[in-house]
C-alpha cells in the first residue's frame, strides 16, 4: 500500500506501488497531488491545497474531480468498479481530513472525518506514528522514513509538499461567469 503523513507543515509520502501481497510495481508512483493551474479544490466549502493517497490508484482521478466540483462528506463516485483508498486532504488552514472509500457488505461506501495532526494513512502508519511521537522537527518526513525502513509495502523515495503560509482571510471558490446569450453575440460580433 503506502504511507502518507501530515504534521501540520509537510505532507510526505513514499513512492512505492505494490500489487497483491508480494509484487512491487514501481518505486516512482506519484502519491502527493496538488491542483493544476486553474483548478480550485474544496471539501465542504474549505479550500484543499494538496492530498496524499494510499490504496487504489484508480481513485486519484475521482478524488481530483470531486475536489474540483466541491467534494463533501456526502460525495459518492460513479466508479464502475470497487475502489479502496484513504485520501489525506490538507486544508489551507493546516487542518486535515481523511476521505476513505471501501467495500461494506458488497456496497462501495465512502466516509470522511477530520483528522488531528499529526496524521498518517496507509500500511506504514504504526511505524510512522511511533517515530512522529518522538520527533521534534520534520515529523512527517521522519515518520515516512521509518515506514520505508520497516513496512514491506512502503518504499522508494520521499515525496514532500510544504504548506504555504496560512492566509489571513479564508479562500472561497472563484465564481465562474457563464456567458449569457447577449455576451456570446457581442463576442461573436467582435470576432467578425
Can you give the pLDDT of all 192 residues of the chain as single tens digits? 799 999 999 999 999 998 877 788 888 999 999 999 999 999 999 999 999 999 999 999 999 999 999 999 888 888 777 889 999 999 999 999 999 999 888 888 899 999 999 999 999 999 999 999 877 777 999 999 999 999 999 999 999 999 999 999 999 998 877 766 666 566 666 665
Partner residues linked to 121 by β-bridges: 4
Would you tell me how many other CB atoms lie within 10 Å of the CB of residue 111? 12
The secondary structure of 60-75 as a DSSP string is HHHHHHHHHH-B-TT-
The pTM for the full model equals 0.88
Give the list of residues 6+ apart from residue 120 with CB closer than 8 angstroms, or none.
3, 4, 5, 6, 88, 128, 129, 132, 140, 143, 147
Phi, psi of 18 (to 5 degrees): -120, 160
Kindly report each contact of residues 139-143 with a partner whose C-beta sits within 8 Å and lies 24 or more positions away, as own/partner: 139/5, 139/7, 139/10, 140/5, 140/6, 140/7, 140/9, 140/10, 140/11, 140/12, 141/10, 141/12, 143/3, 143/5, 143/7, 143/12, 143/118
Q: Is 126 helix (H, G, I), strand (E, B) or coil?
A: helix
Amino acid at each position: 500500500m503506502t504511507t502518507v503523513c501530515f504534521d501540520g507543515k509537510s505532507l510526505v509520502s513514499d513512492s512505492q506501488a505494490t500489487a497483491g501481497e508480494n509484487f512491487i510495481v514501481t518505486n516512482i508512483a506519484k502519491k502527493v497531488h496538488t491542483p493544476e493551474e486553474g483548478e480550485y479544490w474544496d471539501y465542504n466549502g474549505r479550500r484543499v491545497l494538496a492530498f496524499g493517497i494510499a490504496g487504489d490508484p484508480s481513485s486519484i482521478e475521482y478524488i481530483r474531480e470531486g475536489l474540483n466540483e466541491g467534494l463533501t462528506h456526502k460525495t459518492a463516485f460513479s466508479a464502475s468498479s470497487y475502489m479502496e483508498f484513504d485520501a489525506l486532504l490538507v486544508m489551507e488552514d493546516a487542518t486535515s481530513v481523511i476521505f476513505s472509500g471501501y467495500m461494506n457488505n458488497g456496497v462501495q461506501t465512502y466516509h470522511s472525518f477530520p483528522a488531528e495532526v499529526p496524521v498518517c494513512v496507509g500500511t506504514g502508519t504504526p511505524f510512522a506514528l511511533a517515530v512522529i511521537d518522538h520527533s521534534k522537527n520534520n515529523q512527517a518526513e521522519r515518520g515516512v522514513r521509518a515506514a520505508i525502513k520497516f513496512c514491506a509495502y512502503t518504499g522508494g523515495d520521499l515525496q514532500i509538499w510544504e504548506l504555504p503560509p496560512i492566509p489571513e482571510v479564508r479562500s472561497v471558490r472563484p465564481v465562474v461567469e457563464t456567458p449569457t446569450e447577449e455576451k456570446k453575440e457581442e463576442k461573436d460580433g467582435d470576432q467578425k
